[in-house]
Amino acid sequence: MSSKMAIDSSHAETLEKTSGEQQVQLDFQLKRDIPLGQVKEQESPGILKANSLKKKYDLGEHVVNALMGIDFEVKEGDFVALMGPSGSGKSTLLHLLGGLDKPSEGDVTLAGQPLAALSDKQATLARRHNVGFIFQFFNLLPTLTAKENVSLPLIIDGKNLRKYNQKIDAVLELVGLSDRADHKPDQLSGGEQQRVAIARALVTDPAIVLADEPTGNLDSKTGKAIMDLLRRSCDELGQTIVVVTHDARAAAYADRVVFLSDGNIVHDISYDGVEDMSQRVRTVIETMEVLDT
């Protein structure tokens, strides 16, 4: 690992906000025998819970009520899509759920910890230990290789990388990028960069992965491959996932689709027993059409 990996925590914090770019296809096998942590058990208490969550942005002249009082629970192993028109509050909700921002009222409980009760430092640690973030623009650090980018959350957490080398290689293999480990982001396609971001999100075995428009910057074929990867992470590793998307085809990969409108949850659809993807997509589109009218 190079000396570039000695990254200070302020630089590291920008990881949760920075940027990157562009495309390709996926061809990999998730392997259950690789050391990615235990397969989590089905049905358990909520891993993420929002109670009466409100968010107001005070703009001086007027106040934007971005979230009006959201009650929302995600159970371990769930794969949930958040949908809704632009401005309906999806990103705001995702940020509050992941502790990136604070609610105006209400509270979020993440992996049993009420975030409101934590100091800023404790909240940062809770986020670091429990949440893997995936962003639309990948947010890879451009001067680091794929492997170094994947290692970042472990470095930030002060882990001894030598002990985690096998784990880092395992997540890179999981996302089909073992042969690109030494490539920097500008040597990777957009789809490959997003796979690096997914490996980075998974490397800490987070309680939950939160993804904000993970396919929004990718062509449809590459986006499909990325959603397929997230689907497999849920099915084969038991990874709990919440994805914000405006794309019905992406939402169809989830088990449950929660619709927001004007800061409220207005529909909550479960796909129990519906295997047919085109049927799932149709259901999402029909619901969106009803919301738009």
Q: Which residues bind ligand ADP (CB under 6 A)?
A: 57, 59, 64, 66, 84, 86-92
What is the three-class DSSP state of 114?
strand
The least CB distance from residue 242 to ligand ADP, in Å, is 13
The least CB distance from residue 98 to ligand ADP, in Å, is 13
Q: Compare residues 95 and 195 and give the one whose CB is closer to ligand ADP.
A: 95
What's the token pair of residue 51? 């109670």
Q: Which residues pair with 63 in a beta bridge?
A: 58
Long-range contacts at 228-231 (CB < 8 A, ≥ 24 apart): 228/26, 228/253, 229/26, 229/28, 229/175, 229/195, 229/198, 230/79, 230/198, 231/79
Q: Compare residues 80 and 156 and give the one whose CB is closer to ligand ADP.
A: 80
Q: Compare residues 277 and 290 and give the one whose CB is closer to ligand ADP.
A: 290
The least CB distance from residue 240 to ligand ADP, in Å, is 21
The least CB distance from residue 259 to ligand ADP, in Å, is 11
Residue 203 near residue 161, CB atoms below 8 Å: no
Report CA-CA distances (Å) from 175 to 17, 93, 110.
22, 27, 26
Residue 252 near residue 281, CB atoms below 8 Å: yes
Q: Compare residues 189 and 261 and give the one whose CB is closer to ligand ADP.
A: 261
Q: Compare residues 83 and 198 and give the one whose CB is closer to ligand ADP.
A: 83
The least CB distance from residue 78 to ligand ADP, in Å, is 20
